A and B are shown apart, each in its own frame.
Chain A
């Protein structure tokens, strides 16, 4: 960020939000505001002027609060690394993407609000900070388009390679034909999805990508086809006759890459106000490694089928692409139709609508839409 473009920052206690809103009834939060969360709005009323001084009545502060409480668009940002899972929200009023306000969790129940002149004043340094320093292009073993379900299998294949590598290390085993037993692969996938353990790629993707719960995660072996098509796996058999999945070129290269050099993940979802509600325009998962920056965009086609666009970008490309996608996302619909540039949008689905099911045999919670129980293998109705 250029010097002189430092954001204006303000720290505010969560419990004061409710008081502020009650003192400014014209600023009731809309559903795009992070401050709609009820727990943040509660708190014993305090004399805000006494606590925050004249700031509360200054125009700059009121502008910030207006942006946060009644945004025209917002972005939910999740980060996972050594600090665990963190979340921040960025709000803006309109397609100009100016005067944006980032809201982060501060210490001791405080919120930190930071106002940036332009979205890119926050976004560019953020991406520069997280992106891997790579300049050379690398192979993309999962080119677009792939189904959402296919992606889940690929992410678990990478995890399976990591798991096998750790196990082999512990047992001092060297293998030039790494493999995983089919039934183990499927069972550990179901376990991984349930685990929410962000040290593994598949659960990290599910936890870090905001709004991903709106996508149906089916562990149906028919979606494994992508693993063979893209040479993550080849079919094999042990001497005992047991079916195994032997890691192919893509499985080995990406497996080693994530085994050796993946530490952090980042998820973003940007939604724009259209009519009475907010419509998701962009949804990303970013995983930097030593080889490059994996960008996974979630989308739905005209028939409502979920798919992903996975790219392997250099740092420079990642920043360009993020800017470009957001610029396009914020173009008003009417303008895009005129220029025939309208991207496919992902309709928002209430997370609460996701059906929770349990296995009739063992009682374990199962993934909505799963054909088999990930815990005991029972065929589900």
Chain B
């Protein structure tokens, strides 16, 4: 699908989604006679027709999403592929509340998918709420504290923007621990358990994102073997466990959640101009290196 076709598909799909919302809202109003009301029956008929078309458009959208090799499991070495809209942030893959994503069956060690995104220029206009994370990559110590969990940091372009993916893997699988919402969405899929004594069905779980638990100081996590990285644009997806030459350290960018809708961007809260040591985002290593440089007379 070329860009023009994608644009037309998105316009049609997103306008129909809006139309469906409007119809549902109208149908939720009180009608005389309820089921016998001709206006309500007409709305119902229109809704069914639009939903049919909408379903076809969604299928076409999903079928045309590229499947990118984005990460590699640090335990098995298996490649992790993802169907993702990397043309821009205007596709409903990026809809925080109602994302359109392919149901995938990730491999056995997959645990969670998180991400960050640095805008290069203005975001694409989209009617839905989009929240692709902070501008720089980070890890969740809450997950990495478990001995069997590791994360892999990689990057990919989302249109003109720079995306960062943090994929968490667990071996053995970590049970009974909240994961993290899938990158850019407000929910993640919690698989069911097929235990003889307790069967539970899989379900979507939603967590309130908490930037206070993000750790942007990646170096100690790499040194401890908990975070591995893949070089940008490395098609071989070679994993690295060394700190030297890591391109993801000390990146500049906002460390708060960025949100966008209809071309507007806003932030959870602005960073303090002067950082202090109580701030979780305070980079102590960088601060110390600056002080040392000053002491050496280089500052």
Tell whether, in the assembled complex, residue A140 and residue B241 are in contact, meaning their CB atoms are under 8 Å apart: yes
On whether the beta carbons of A144 and B239 are closer than 8 Å, the reply is yes
Q: Mark A124-164, 1 if CB is under 8 A from B, else 0.
A: 00000000000011111111110000000000000000000
Contacts of B77 in A (CB 8 A): 143-145, 307, 309
A22: interface (CB < 8 Å)? no
Chain B residues positioned under 8 Å from A137 (CB to CB): 147, 224-226
Say whether, besides A137-B225, A139-B224, A311-B75, A317 and B241 are in contact (CB < 8 Å): no
Given contacts A136-B224, A137-B226, contact A320 B172 (CB under 8 A): yes
**Please, what's the 1-or-0 string for B109-139, where 1 marks a CB less than 8 Å from any CB in chain A?**
0000000000000000000000000000000
A324 touches B172 (CB 8 A): yes
Determine whether B74 belongs to the interface, using a CB cutoff of 8 Å to chain A.
yes
Residue-wise, chain B 50-82 has the 8 Å CB interface mask toward A (1 for contact) of: 000000000000000000000011111100000
Expressed in whole angstroms, the Cα–Cα distance for A138 and B227 within the complex equals 10
Residue pair A230, B241 in contact (C-beta under 8 Å): yes
Residues of B within 8 A of A250 (CB): 241-242
Judging by beta carbons under 8 Å apart, are A248 and B242 in contact? yes
Known: A311-B75, A316-B147. A231 touches B224 (CB 8 A): no
Q: Does A100 touch B at the CB level, under 8 Å?
A: no
Contact present for B74 and A144 (CB under 8 Å): yes
Contact A230 B240 (CB under 8 A): yes
Q: Looking at the assembled complex, report how far the CB atom of A130 sits from the nearest CB atom of chain B, in whole angstroms.
A: 20
Contact A144:B225 (CB < 8 A) given known A249-B244, A250-B242, A317-B147: no
Q: Which residue of A lies closest to B74 (CB)?
A: A143
Q: Does B84 contact A (CB under 8 A)?
A: no
Could you tell me if A231 and B239 are in contact, using CB atoms closer than 8 angstroms?
no
- The answer to whether residues A317 and B148 also contact, given A137-B224, A139-B222, A249-B244 and a CB cut-off of 8 A, is yes
Whose C-beta in chain B lies nearest to the C-beta of A141? B241
- A-B interface contact total, Cβ < 8 Å: 63
Tell whether A198 is near chain B: CB-to-CB under 8 Å. no
Residues of B near A144 (CB, < 8 A) are 72-77, 239
Q: Please, how many angstroms separate the alpha-carbon atoms of A341 and B107 in the complex? A: 10
A312 interfacial by beta-carbon distance below 8 Å: yes
Please pick, from B72, B76, B172, B243, the residue contacting A249 in the complex, using a CB distance under 8 A. B243
Could you give, for residues 15-41 of chain A, a 1 whenever the CB lies within 8 Å of some chain B CB and a 0 otherwise?
000000000000000000000000000
Q: Report how many residues on chain A are interfacial, defined by Cβ distance under 8 Å.
A: 27
Q: Residues of B contacting A47 with CB < 8 Å?
A: none
Q: Which of A140, A248, A341 has the most CB of B within 10 A?
A: A140
SS of A interface (majority):
loop
Give the complex CA separation of A311 and B148 in angstroms: 12
Q: Is A229 an interface residue (CB 8 A)?
A: yes
Q: Please measure, in the bound complex, the distance between the C-alpha atom of A138 and the C-alpha atom of B73, giving whole angstroms.
A: 17
What A residues does B240 contact at CB under 8 A? 143, 229-231
Task: List chain B residues, Cβ under 8 A from A145.
Answer: 77
Give, as a whole number of angstroms, the nearest-CB distance from A120 to chain B. 16
Does A314 reach chain B (CB closer than 8 Å)? yes
- Residues of the B chain whose Cβ atoms lie less than 8 Å from the Cβ of A231: 240, 242, 244-245
Chain A residues with CB under 8 Å of B245's CB are: 231
Determine whether the beta carbon of B172 is less than 8 Å from that of A229.
no
Residues of A within 8 A of B243 (CB): 249
CA distance A321 to B76 in the complex (A): 11
* Bound-complex Cα distance A140 to B72 (A): 14
Cβ–Cβ contact A139 & B241, under 8 A: yes
Tell me how far the C-beta of B246 lies from the nearest C-beta in chain A, rounded to whole angstroms: 10
Say whether B153 faces chain A, with CB atoms less than 8 Å apart: no
Rounded to whole Å, the gap between the CB of A141 and the closest CB of chain B is 5
CA distance A345 to B124 in the complex (A): 48
Enumerate A282-298 residues with CB–CB distance to B below 8 Å.
none
Over the window 206-234 of chain B, the binary record of Cβ atoms lying under 8 Å from chain A Cβ atoms (1 yes, 0 no) is: 00000000000000001111101000000
Please, which residue of chain B has its CB at the minimum distance from the CB of A343?
B76
Chain A residues in 8 Å Cβ range of B241? 139-143, 230, 250
- Complex Cα distance, B73 from A140, in Å, reads 13
Distance, CA A248 to CA B225, complexed state (A): 17
The A-contacting residues of B in range 238-259, CB under 8 angstroms, are: 238-245
Name which residue of chain B comes closest to A341, CB basis: B108
Q: Which residues of A contact B172 (CB under 8 A)?
A: 320, 324
Tell me the bound Cα distance from A230 to B246 in angstroms. 11
Cα–Cα, bound, A321→B147 (Å): 13
B171: chain A residues at CB < 8 Å are: 321
Cβ proximity bits A187-211 to B, threshold 8 Å, 1 near / 0 not: 0000000000000000000000000
Give the chain B neighbours of A311 by CB distance below 8 A.
75
Give Cα distance in the complex from A144 to B148, angstroms: 16
Q: Give the 4 A-B CB pairs with smallest separation, nearest first.
A: A144-B77, A143-B239, A145-B77, A139-B225
12 A-B residue pairs with Cβ-Cβ distance under 8 Å, sorted by A, are A137-B147, A139-B222, A139-B224, A140-B228, A143-B239, A145-B77, A229-B238, A249-B242, A309-B76, A317-B148, A321-B171, A341-B108
Known pairs A143-B74, A316-B147; list 19 more (Cβ under 8 Å): A137-B226, A138-B225, A139-B241, A139-B242, A140-B74, A144-B73, A144-B74, A144-B75, A144-B239, A145-B77, A229-B240, A231-B242, A231-B245, A248-B244, A312-B225, A314-B147, A317-B147, A324-B172, A341-B108
